[in-house]
Amino acid sequence: MVFGYGMISGPEFLQVGIPAVLRASALARSLEGTATNVPKLREISPVKAAMTLADSETQEVILLSLRERFSSAQLLAEEDTSSVSSFSEQGEETIVLDPIDGTFHGYLGGEGPYSTNLGLVKEGRYSVSIVSLPREHLIFYVSSEGPPKIQEATGAPRLARVNSKGRGIFVSQYVPDSVRTALSEKGYEPTFGSGGAISVAPLVPGVVAGLRMSPSAEGVSIRGRVGLPITLAAGAIAATKSGDFPLEISQKSDHLITATDEATLKDIRDALTQP
């Protein structure tokens, strides 16, 4: 069955999306250490250009599952693989997919968690969000019609809640050393995390926050926002340097902070004032 425009429900999308993301995550894990970087053409930085066989194969695993039921939706996918053309160019809903977010630093470099990000956008906001951290064996998900969930390895799903223990902070590659140093001096442990990992950071065991800085014209990317509905539904904070982070995907922000509480948020904002 193909659902018409505006007809994709949260439970239906999760029913297909969660198993697809889990299969893709398992494939990504199995290819770790064997996949080599084959940079995309016309990208100006090594980070943006990084791509492996794992990126394209994991994307196809997910798209082959989604296209059977949701081809009426538009698709915003990171890679140009064969199934991309199966989706509508004018659907009222948009599927957003990054099969391996953090390819350069996380997947290839092993500096911290990479992620698989899958979301469904309705009326300019995410209505369904799925973020997997394959190396950590964690998957997080939520729809506007249900509570946020976390699943560890092969365990049963449970309610996702903010993590109050630990001092870890996931940071993006553009966070300067001065800010990392300031965070370390406050007793935190900054380490690289992909955009997806940063978006769900307060829900990860041992991690209390995430900080993303983006120098690009678009600011924090649409794909890097996928996990925010999960984080907010679980009781954590999503903010900028001076206010709440905008949930409309069309609104730009150069910074994203996710945090367990106001005290942690203040520490990060203070660190951002470092020269």
Q: CA–CA distance from 39 to each of 46, 77, 128, 145, 177 (Å)? A: 7, 17, 31, 39, 27
Of the pLDDT bands very low, low, confident and very high (cuts 50, 70, 90), residue 84 is very high
CATH, domain range 10-159: 3.30.540.10
The token pair at 112 is 């911290």
Across 215-230, average pLDDT:
92
The whole-chain average pLDDT of the chain stands at 90
pLDDT tens-digit series, residues 165-198: 899 999 999 999 999 999 999 999 999 999 999 9
Closest CA to 18 of 112, 136, 150: 150
pTM for the model stands at 0.91
Cα–Cα–Cα angle for 133, 200, 96, rounded to 5 degrees? 75
The token pair at 261 is 């509480």
Q: How far is 91 from 7, CA to CA, in rounded Å?
A: 10
Rounded to an integer, what is the distance from CA 242 to the centroid of its chain? 22
pLDDT at 249: 93
Phi/psi zone of residue 94: left (φ > 0), alpha (ψ -120 to 50 degrees), beta? beta
Amino acid code (one letter) for 183: L
- Tell me the domain boundaries of the chain: 10-159, 166-271
pLDDT at 178: 96
**Res. 262: pLDDT tops 80:** yes
Of the pLDDT bands very low, low, confident and very high (cuts 50, 70, 90), residue 47 is very low
Burial of 155 (0-12, 13-18, 19+ CB in 10 A): exposed
**Res. 53: pLDDT tops 70:** yes
**Res. 269: pLDDT tops 90:** yes
pLDDT at 91: 84
CATH, domain range 166-271: 3.40.190.80
Of the pLDDT bands very low, low, confident and very high (cuts 50, 70, 90), residue 41 is very low
Q: How far is 107 from 23, CA to CA, in rounded Å?
A: 17
pLDDT at 45: 43
pLDDT higher for 41 or 201?
201
Long-range contacts of 29-36 (CB under 8 A, 24+ apart): 29/134, 29/135, 31/57, 32/107, 32/135, 35/107, 35/108
pLDDT at 154: 74
